[in-house]
């Protein structure tokens, strides 16, 4: 209870108010002192109390200055932390971009691998060109054969037409010969009949 009351009276517990009150009382006693020895004694007490007050004030100023420096240090640390947080956010954003780029590269590589597998199933360009050249030559050869067959077919058609025409003429000739033979036979028969009469 005593400690609690003293702390309440002293404020922050340094005892400065009590020292100042004691200094004022010592000054009043020194002013009212009758003898020189008592005055000297009071004077020494006042000096001692004043020295304690100055020491306490100096200590308070040092603490105040230290607190200011601590505040500046804390503000600097706070700014450093804020800068670190901002840098961390930037690094996180950059890492996200790198992750997206890496995913895109991986996807492209997978597509490239799939295309490469498809391409591997087909012959290469040189082999394909050789095959196309061989097919072109074969097609040209077949076209030449087709032209020869068509020419032969046309020749055979003309020869068949000539043969048919010859057969038709031969048939006409034979028919004419038969009619002529019949006419001659008929005429000979008629002449023989006249001769007998």
Q: What is the pLDDT of residues 50-106, one digit of tens each?
A: 787 788 788 888 988 999 999 999 999 999 999 999 999 999 999 999 999 999 999
Q: How far apart are CA 57 and CA 77, in angstroms?
A: 29
User: Mind listing the pLDDT tens digit for each residue in 124-153?
Assistant: 778 888 889 999 999 999 999 999 999 999
Distance CA 18, CA 24 (A): 10
Confidence (pTM):
0.39
How remote is the C-alpha of 146 from its chain's centroid?
Answer: 58
Closest by CA to 13, choosing from 3, 23, 1, is: 3
Sign of the C-alpha dihedral, residues 125, 131, 137, 140? negative
Q: What whole-number distance in Å separates Cα of residue 7 and Cα of residue 57?
A: 18
**Angle (deg, nearest 10), helices 36-120 and 16-32:** 160
Phi, psi of 42 (to 5 degrees): -65, -35
């Amino acid at each position: 209870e005593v400690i609690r009351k003293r702390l309440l009276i002293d404020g922050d517990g340094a005892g400065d108010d009590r020292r100042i009150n004691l200094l004022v009382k010592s000054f009043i006693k020194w002013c009212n002192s009758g003898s020189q020895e008592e005055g000297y004694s009071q004077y020494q007490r006042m000096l001692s109390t004043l020295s304690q007050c100055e020491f306490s004030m100096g200590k308070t100023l040092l603490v105040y200055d230290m607190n200011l420096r601590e505040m500046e240090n804390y503000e600097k640390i706070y700014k450093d932390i804020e800068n670190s947080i901002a840098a961390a956010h930037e690094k996180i954003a950059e890492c996200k971009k790198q992750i997206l780029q890496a995913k895109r590269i991986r996807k492209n590589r997978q597509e490239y691998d799939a295309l490469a597998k498809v391409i591997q199933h087909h012959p290469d360009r040189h082999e394909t060109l050789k095959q196309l050249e061989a097919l072109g030559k074969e097609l040209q050869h077949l076209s030449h054969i087709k032209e020869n067959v068509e020419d032969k077919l046309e020749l055979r058609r003309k020869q068949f037409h000539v043969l048919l025409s010859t057969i038709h003429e031969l048939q006409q000739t034979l028919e004419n010969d038969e009619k002529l033979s019949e006419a001659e036979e008929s005429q000979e028969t008629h002449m023989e009949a006249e001769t007998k009469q």
